[in-house]
Amino acid sequence: MGLKIKWNDDRVRGAATAILLISRELLQRGETEDLVQKALQEYRADPEGYKLSKVAWPDARDTSSLTKPSHLAYYRNLITAIDALLKKMEQGKRQSNSLLELDNYLITSLRHVR
């Protein structure tokens, strides 16, 4: 029997939060390309390390550390897009069969964010 990840699974909310936190950190370092994909790769490569460092990070919606207007605008758009995507997943009762499938869905769905 395959692994089912439902829309209300903690792994969905965890991946969304990781995208926000790690993307914000990448923006602070000046990286702007493929942020969602990079964030998910970093998260999946070391989920325990992410959980440990997450404790020290400010709230995922905190934008005070972003000083460039373009980075700030991107991050706010990303927050809005993730909120809308999570709502869409809930309404459609979306399920994934694996973490890879979930990650690919998130990457594809958030690719349009600028």
Instruction: Provide the percentage of residues in the chain whose pLDDT is more than 90.
Output: 86
Q: Quick one: pLDDT at residue 1?
A: 45
**Mean pLDDT, rounded, of the chain:** 93
Band (101; pLDDT cuts 50, 70, 90): very high
Averaged pLDDT for residues 46-51: 88
Name the pTM for this structure: 0.92
Query: CA-to-CA distance for 5 and 66, rounded, in angstroms?
Result: 33
**Nearest by Cα to 112 from 74, 83, 86:** 74
Please tell me the distance from the alpha carbon of residue 7 to that of residue 22, in angstroms, as a whole number. Answer: 21
| Residue 30 pLDDT | 93
pLDDT of residue 19: 97
pLDDT in tens, 17-32: 999 999 999 999 999 9
Residue 57 has pLDDT above 90, yes or no: no
Q: Judge contact between 111 and 36, C-beta under 8 A.
A: yes
Residue partners of 8: CB distance under 8 A and separation at least 6: 90
Q: Please report, rounded to a whole number, the percentage of residues in the chain having pLDDT higher than 70.
A: 98
Instruction: Average the pLDDT over 2-20 and give the result.
Output: 91
